[in-house]
Amino acid sequence: MNEKASLQAVFDFNMKFGSSLCILNVGGRRFSFSAELMKRLPLSRLSRLHRCVSESELLELCDDYDRDRNEFFFDRHSEAFSFIMLYVQHGKLRFLPHMCELSFYNEMLYWGLESSDLQPCCQRRLDDRMSDCFVHFFPEEEETRGPEKTPRRWVERMRRTFEEPTSSLMAQILASVSVLFVLISMVMLCASTLPDWKAAETLDQHRIIEAVCIGWFTAECIVRFLVSRDKCEFVCHPLNIIDLLAITPYYISVTMTTLTGENSQLQRAGVTLRVLRMMRIFWVIKLARHFLGLQTLGLTLRRCYREMVMLLVFVCVAMAIFSALAQLLEHGLDLESGNQDYASIPAACWWVIISMTTVGYGDMYPVTVAGRVLGGLCVVSGIVLLALPITFIYHSFVQCYHELKVRSARCSHSLSADFIN
């Protein structure tokens, strides 16, 4: 009993009043900290380590402890801990290069950090990686729960087949068929506007092809809705809204034909129906599900909306200034013989926007010396203002492209392994 009490006293002395230097041995790499610094560290494991009052409590937090050297041993990743300590010093936490995001996140949880401590770019990487891994672990989880959960496995597999074109061979086949129908529909829509596309036989063939394409898109949309995880999220998704806007005009047209009994030629003469039919051009955006470039564009616009708003503000402010000056110099100083193209500020806004974007249609241009000088300033300022946010948008585009390319390569690797097996 006396020996145990003596060991306890030595332990308490070393931890609280003795050595002012604590050594952390993480994966064979030693880190030295003062006792006061360990109290202030935001890592919950180390702060709890300092509050231990017995060796048994201590060994619950670390793998081993050397009383003589006051050294704590942790069988963890040493480089990951080094990055975490950089966060303690500088307040910025990023992923360790060439290390799996989930493995680094596991190290963070061990030391007492959360995903909110990561930088926003790394948080997005972690969220994407966790969402990717969920669909791989989900079937295994369902298998362990028994045969009654088998239908959920098939629903999840069906959802991945329709939502992720690179998830399996069947998904790639369905994606190819969908792209083919989109291209056929676009070709038929463009051809229907030709003057020679008015013959009765041609119209009948066009209606048959149109019905087949609409039938495929409708069936695809219904199946994707039925197997979706969250029905409200599915309905609110932009691509699904575009699908609905592209499909609905056809059924409206068919319904009006059935109810009114009017000839299809007369219907197509209606302005409303022609507008609805032209909304089918939104099917082109469906290609974003299958092409990396369009996905990168959409993701970049979503992440850079602040920069896009800033660009719009720049253009609007410059347009207000230059249009007012152009109207004054070209027309306001001489109301009778002035340039009538600049009779109002809204009319001058058109000239400003085509000048700032260096398009220059030539439909209106300044004729006075002062107006031409102003036009030169307008063009130069437009180039500068448009170039300012482009750097941010470009870097975001490169980052989005890299993320999507890595994700696509990971899915392709999984697809190749499944095909070989």
Residue 379: per-residue pLDDT: 92
Residues in the chain: 421
> What would the pLDDT profile of 326-354 be if each residue is shown by its tens digit?
988 888 777 677 788 888 888 899 999 99
Residue 412: per-residue pLDDT: 54
pTM of the model: 0.51
Domains of the chain from N-terminus onward: 21-137 (3.30.710.10), 160-290 (1.20.120.350), 295-392 (1.10.287.70)
| Closest listed residue to residue 318, CA positions, set 349, 289, 359 | 349
Q: How far apart are CA 24 and CA 33, in angstroms?
A: 8
Give the C-alpha distances (Å, rounded to integers) separating 110 from 53, 55, 61, 95, 251: 21, 20, 10, 15, 57
Residue 17: per-residue pLDDT: 36
Strand order in the sheet with 64-66: 29-34, 21-26, 71-74, 64-66
Q: How far apart are CA 219 and CA 44, in angstroms?
A: 53
Query: Residues in the chain with pLDDT < 70?
Result: 1-20, 35-43, 128, 131-151, 197-203, 257, 260-274, 276-277, 335, 407-421
